[in-house]
Amino acid sequence: MKKIVFILLVLVVSTMALAESVSFINPLGPTTIPIAPIMKGVITGNATINVKLWQSSDEAIAMIVAKQADFAVLPVTLGAILYSKGIKISLLGVYEWKVFYLVVSKNATFTGWKSLIGKSIYTPEGRGQTVDILMRYMMTQDNVIPDKDVKIYYLQPQEIVALFRSGKIDYAALPEPFVTMAISGGYGKIALDFQKAWGEEMNLPNRIPIAGLFVMDDFAQAHPQTVVDVEQTFERSINWMNQNIDQALELSKSYLAIPIPILKESMQRTAFYYVAISKCKDDVETFLSKLNELYPQGMPSVPGEGFYGY
């Protein structure tokens, strides 16, 4: 009798710990490249990972609120803001460390944020995304008032690239591969590496915890072993991408609709490598704390311990 009870308990625990499939949301953009091996079945795990691509932070938030995601790749700043609003979400690790640049047209110059007074700058999506917060903070450090001294406009990155190349806008803060798309062919140049500027400002390495892998707390509590499996599968996909860049770009081109030469050049200015939260918590805490201290409008509060792991 005891043996039967034990077997039943094992079966119940196993059912709670394992999930056959999971819903996984990921931004459409450069972060599609590391997960393309999973989407195309090159890298697999015990659980089937069903990936949905989101195109704006509002779309990602809607999916999370509607409980349409077990896992989410999000900007670390967005994840922290959601956590502060009561969303039960935990950061498992960071994997995107370098991607943001300020580009200027061939007819424009940039000699510091004061040189943009009276001008306009474009950046993807909406207010509060990572490069927007960084840009606003750096402006205020130069005694430039965002939205007053410099107008900031938000569009989809593809629209910004089209406007930039047509000569209708002169300044844009973009992630790769849209940076390469904007300036290739002599239409402009990179004026600022946000990662380098942040490192110099904070006396830290030239990297930023830009995006990470998040899990919904209720899912993690019900399926802890699946969380381990998905995290390991995600890391293997990133490693495979870094070791097989040409193949990874080929896998992702159907999602990004960007020529492979552009994607390949952009990867020279992009850094993807997975670091579990247990090994990069200090990086994240410093980043979020500094943003909260220096630009509380963009980062109104710093997450507590519950944000780091589950």
Segments making up each domain of the chain, as ranges? 2-97+210-307, 100-202
CA distance 197 to 193: 6
Q: Decide which of 237 and 137 is more confident.
A: 237
Whole-number Å distance between alpha carbons of 252 and 39: 9
What CATH class has 2-97+210-307?
Answer: alpha beta
Between residues 133 and 181, the one the model is more confident about: 181
Cα 36 to Cα 237: distance, rounded to the nearest angstrom:
8
pLDDT reported for residue 133: 86
- 274 and 234 in contact (C-beta within 8 Å)? yes
pTM above 0.75, yes or no: yes
Q: 118 burial class (0-12, 13-18, 19+ CB within 10 angstroms)?
A: exposed
* Pairing state between β 100-105 and 171-175: antiparallel
Flag whether pLDDT at 17 surpasses 80. Answer: no
pLDDT above 50 (res 13): no
CATH class of 100-202: alpha beta
Q: pLDDT tens-digit profile of 76-114?
A: 999 999 999 999 999 999 999 999 999 999 989 999 999
Alpha-carbon gap, residue 161 to 74, rounded angstroms: 22
Residue 265: the pLDDT is: 94
pLDDT for 261 equals 92
Give the contacts of 284 (CB within 8 A, at least 6 positions apart). Answer: 76, 91, 94, 209, 212, 277, 308
Side-chain-side CA neighbours of 45 within 13 Å: the count stands at 26
Check for a shared fold between 2-97+210-307 and 100-202. Answer: yes
pLDDT band at residue 5 under the 50/70/90 scheme: very low
- pLDDT per position as a tens digit, 43-70: 999 999 999 999 888 999 999 999 999 9
- 140, 109 Cβ separation under 8 angstroms: no
Phi first, then psi: give them for residue 72, nearest 5 degrees. -145, 135
Residue 16 has a CB neighbour count (10 Å cut-off) of: 14
DSSP string, 180-228: HHHHTTTTEEEEEEHHHHHHHHHTS-S----EEEEEEHHHHHH-HHHHH
> Which residues have a Cβ under 8 Å from the Cβ of 77 and sit 6 or more positions away?
128, 129, 130, 133, 288, 291, 298, 299
- The chain-wide mean pLDDT, for the chain, equals 90
pLDDT score recorded for residue 71: 98
